[in-house]
Structure 1
Amino acid sequence: METPILFDNLELVKEPGQLVAAQIGSTVYSGLDSPILLAQDSSGGCGGMIWKAASVMIEYFIWKKQCSNDFLTNKIVVDIGSGTGLVGLAIAKIYPQVKKVMLTDQIPMMELLTKNIGLNKLDNVVNAKILNWGEAIPEESELLEADVILASDCVYLEVCFIPLIETFLALSKKETLIYLAYNKRRKADKRFFQLARKKFEIIDVIDDPKREIYNREGIRLFALKRK
């Protein structure tokens, strides 16, 4: 099993009153004006950890910002399976002109997500919402307004393949762009892509200058659009 990145480039910062089993740290990415402060909580399972695919996605969007400053201007971004919230928080820092970033996960992750939003003082543009893959989404939900959907390292359990695809379908429209950072772990993962291709066009993101490096580590970045 893959080992998670525990505080990748993180400098630990002590903070009183922290979550049980959580540590507070800061992660620095070249191209970001300020570090991202994060609590990580291993007691909640893999969702409370940082994984390599998250950093791949973040570094791609930092590079993309250098190519097109207005890429996410006034756009609504929904991050699926947010875990610590690292990817969504980074997006809010990379693109301060984004309209809104919504971090989503199951109920046990809400405390951690809310804490990390507050640590980074991004409450004005980022919020956390409960989202269980495969479940119906209320018609009035803000999640249905997504222009861009992000999913980092969400393809890992075969039982979740169909619920994840159903969630992509529920949240997306014809013009919605979905970015999927994927870490290859097992042959069964092929089934996810076989199922997803029935509903989505799956495009290899080839304009990333670091693509060859992370591809060698089994990480791929895809863009999905509804057929």
Structure 2
Amino acid sequence: MNSSGDEDDPFPVDDCLFSETFSQETVYNLMGEELRIRQVFSANLGVAAPVWEAALHLCRYLEDQSVELKGRRIIELGAGTGVVGILAARLGADVTLTDLPLALPQLQANVSGNMPSSGWPSASPTVLPLSWGEDHLKFPSDWDLVLCADIIYLPETYPLLVETLVHLCKKETMVYLSSKMRKEHRTPYFYEEYLPSRFNVELVHRDVKQNNHIYKATLRAES
């Protein structure tokens, strides 16, 4: 999702940020899988272009905690390059990757480029547009896991994201959110106020050096 911050914003939308479009491919070895992720840097893609450190933190956390992915129905929000969801699909999950429409070509290219030589162990990952609070009702509400990596940085989207998460989750659904805790973007406020309004929220991992937190959330029972 695009930002509208000022010059101090780490996510500027000034066209000069990526005045020339270029791409690079990076190899990541995660959970025994080798992923080749292409990042297309351009003024249009903006924050959807890079692999953010929070995504790699989330992949490592899922491995460290031996979170079962095989056979699970997973949706990733704000997938960007798709590294988290593609990894889950390589490990046997049934994955749907979502982002804004402008990010989908890069996302689909990375899905196609990372299909195992023997084919996907479960279903081929699905890539779909999803604008929070707008078209979330087109999606089912029966996911096992919802994965979110570095998508908490625009305060105006926070209520829309919570609304979307509520729709996607059944009571057994586990949401994992990995975020760089940017005070200037009120990221801590999302986890302290917005998300707890509808979810049980637990801080499960903290990386002090990278200022990255991972939270686990489950839908609160209706009172």
TM (normalized to structure 1)?
0.78
* Aligned 8 A contact 1:29 1:59 in 2: no
Distance in 2, Cα, partners of 1:22 & 1:144: 38
Give the number of equivalent residue pairs. Answer: 195
CA change 1:118–1:224 in 2 (3 A) is same
Post-superposition CA distance 1:3-47 (Å, at most 9, x none): 9xxxxxxxxxxxxxxxx93424132225324x2112212211101
**Aligned Cα RMSD in Å?**
2.1
Partner of 2:97: 103
CA contact (8 A) 1:24 1:37 kept: no
* CA distance 1:30–1:82, change in 2 (3 Å): closer
Q: Hey, what does 1:27 align to over in structure 2?
A: 27
Between the aligned partners of 1:159 and 1:138, the Cα distance in structure 2 is 20
Unaligned runs of 5+ in 2: 1-8, 12-19
Contact 2:199 2:219 in 1 (8 A): yes
Partner residue in 1 for 2:37:
38
Q: Percent identity?
A: 24
* Structure 1, gaps ≥5 residues long: 4-19
Alignment of 1:97-176 (within 5 A): 98=93, 100-121=94-115, 124-138=123-137, 141=139, 143-176=140-173
- Mapping for residues 9-28 of structure 1, pairs under 5 Å: 21-28=21-28
Alpha-carbon separation, structure 2, partners of 1:121 and 1:24: 19
Q: Cα distance 1:23–1:176, how it changes in 2: closer, same or farther (>3 A)?
A: same
Q: Which residue does the alignment assign to 1:17?
A: none
Mapped partners of 1:225, 1:184: distance in 2: 20
Question: Could you say which residue in structure 1 is the equivalent of 2:214?
Answer: 221
Whether the 8 Å contact between 2:30 and 2:59 is mirrored in structure 1 is no
Please give the alpha-carbon distance, in whole angstroms, between the structure 2 residues aligned to 1:80 and 1:192: 16
Matched, 1:178 2:179: no
Q: Secondary structure at the match of 2:31?
A: coil
Is 2:47 the partner of 1:49? no
Please name the residue that 1:16 is paired with: none
Q: Aligned partner of 2:25: which letter?
A: G
